[in-house]
């Protein structure tokens, strides 16, 4: 991979829309996802195979996942039933598993203890690997937990070891409540790269305290070239009052463009994608681009 190439994993349709109280119609989601793909997003989280009772917004997971959009369409699967549903729908989807570095957060979020996850997730990873599929593990609260406070980075690294040993291909390391600072980002990713040199590392930042782009830059300086982002800063954390969504895709893409990095994503294409979903959202777009004008930076040149 070229050192100036950065992969953006667009998570707005899953991590973002799952928090929307207004129902987003399936046809709107499908058009939204296709527009994101047309804009150059080559990897996306498209839906989640969770209980429709717990997350009604994801009740159309089968209808979404049967449509291929990118080279990697990630679907979140929290348990055996979720994986069974995902694998039954399509051979092209890529399962993404979920664990919390904080035991308190994980228990409240998905109702599993760390022991539960250690018994379950490696077995599901093995099942996916037996089918020659790529597998992704999302590690939440890797920096701070709303219940336990600051996480110990050495414990976070050790926490990942059994999942790496199970054969997972990618770790998405999340600052779930948006409290990390660039120094902490550099330190943790440096340790992760030293410990797991053959595993893809992805940075997942929230912009609660407006440190998102600073943390993106810190991760870049640490050698990270994969980032989870969400168009229009969609998303949030139900267990962290006031926490905002993921760092906005359009702001990260513009920032990387200015740094001379290559994402292959069009800002105008992102704008077109956001216009599809904007009418059904319950809040305005909070990003700088929405406040100042078009996504394109040409407006300010």
Tens of pLDDT along 6-38?
A: 999 999 999 889 888 889 999 999 999 999 999
With the C-alpha atoms ordered 218, 95, 41, 264, is the resulting torsion angle positive or negative?
positive
pLDDT tens for 100-155 read 999 898 888 777 889 999 999 999 999 999 999 999 999 999 999 999 999 999 99
- What b/e sequence results for 120-140 when a residue is b if at least 16 CB atoms lie within 10 Å of its CB, and e otherwise? bbbebbebbeeeebbbbbbbb
Confidence (pLDDT) at 286: 73
- Domain 7-300 falls in which CATH fold? TIM Barrel (3.20.20)
| Distance (Å, whole) CA 133 – CA 135 | 6
Query: Active-site residue 66, yes or no?
Result: no
Nearest residue to 126 (alpha-carbon basis) of 97, 104, 148, 100: 97
pTM, rounded to two decimals: 0.93
Res. 297 pLDDT band, cuts 50 70 90: very low
Answer whether residue 42 shows pLDDT above 60: yes
Q: How far is CA 223 from CA 62, 189, 200, in A?
A: 36, 8, 11
Domain edges within the chain: 7-300
Task: Give the closest residue to 240 by CA, choosing from 124, 48, 100.
Answer: 100
Q: Using pLDDT thresholds of 50, 70 and 90, give the confidence band for residue 1.
A: very low
What is the rounded average pLDDT of the residues 197-226?
Answer: 96
Say which residues have a Cβ less than 8 Å from residue 194's Cβ, sequence separation at least 6.
Answer: none
Q: What is the CB neighbour count within 10 angstroms for residue 157?
A: 18
How does pLDDT run across 161-204, given as a tens digit for each residue? 999 999 999 999 999 999 999 999 999 999 999 999 999 999 99
CA separation, residue 225 to residues 156, 181, 210, 239 (Å): 20, 18, 21, 29
Confidence at residue 299, expressed as pLDDT on a 0 to 100 scale: 41
Q: At what angle do helices 153-165 and 182-195 cross, to 10 degrees?
A: 40
């Amino acid at each position: 991979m070229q050192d100036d190439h950065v992969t953006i994993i667009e998570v707005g349709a899953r991590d973002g829309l799952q928090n929307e109280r207004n129902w987003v119609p399936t046809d709107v989601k499908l058009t939204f996802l296709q527009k994101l793909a047309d804009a150059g997003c080559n990897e996306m989280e498209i839906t989640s195979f969770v209980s429709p009772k717990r997350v009604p917004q994801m009740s159309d997971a089968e209808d979404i996942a049967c449509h291929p959009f990118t080279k990697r369409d990630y679907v979140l699967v929290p348990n055996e039933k979720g994986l069974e549903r995902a694998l039954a729908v399509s051979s092209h989807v890529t399962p993404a598993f979920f664990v919390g570095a904080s035991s308190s957060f994980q228990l409240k979020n998905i109702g599993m203890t760390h022991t539960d996850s250690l018994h379950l997730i490696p077995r599901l990873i093995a099942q996916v690997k037996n089918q020659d599929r790529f597998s992704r593990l999302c590690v939440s609260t890797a920096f701070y937990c709303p219940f336990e406070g600051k996480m110990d980075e050495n414990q976070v690294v050790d926490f990942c070891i059994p999942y790496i040993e199970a054969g997972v291909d990618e770790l998405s390391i999340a600052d779930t409540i948006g409290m990390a600072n660039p120094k902490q980002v550099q330190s943790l990713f440096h340790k992760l790269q030293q410990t797991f040199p053959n595993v893809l590392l992805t940075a997942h930042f929230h912009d609660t305290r407006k440190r998102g782009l600073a943390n993106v830059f810190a991760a870049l300086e640490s050698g990270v070239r994969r980032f989870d982002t969400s168009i229009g800063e969609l998303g949030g954390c139900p267990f962290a009052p006031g926490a905002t969504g993921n760092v906005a895709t359009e702001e990260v893409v513009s920032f990387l463009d200015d740094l001379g990095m290559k994402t292959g994503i069009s800002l105008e294409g992102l704008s077109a994608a956001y216009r599809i979903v904007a009418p059904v959202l319950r809040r305005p777009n909070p990003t700088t681009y929405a406040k100042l004008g078009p996504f394109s930076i040409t407006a300010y040149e």
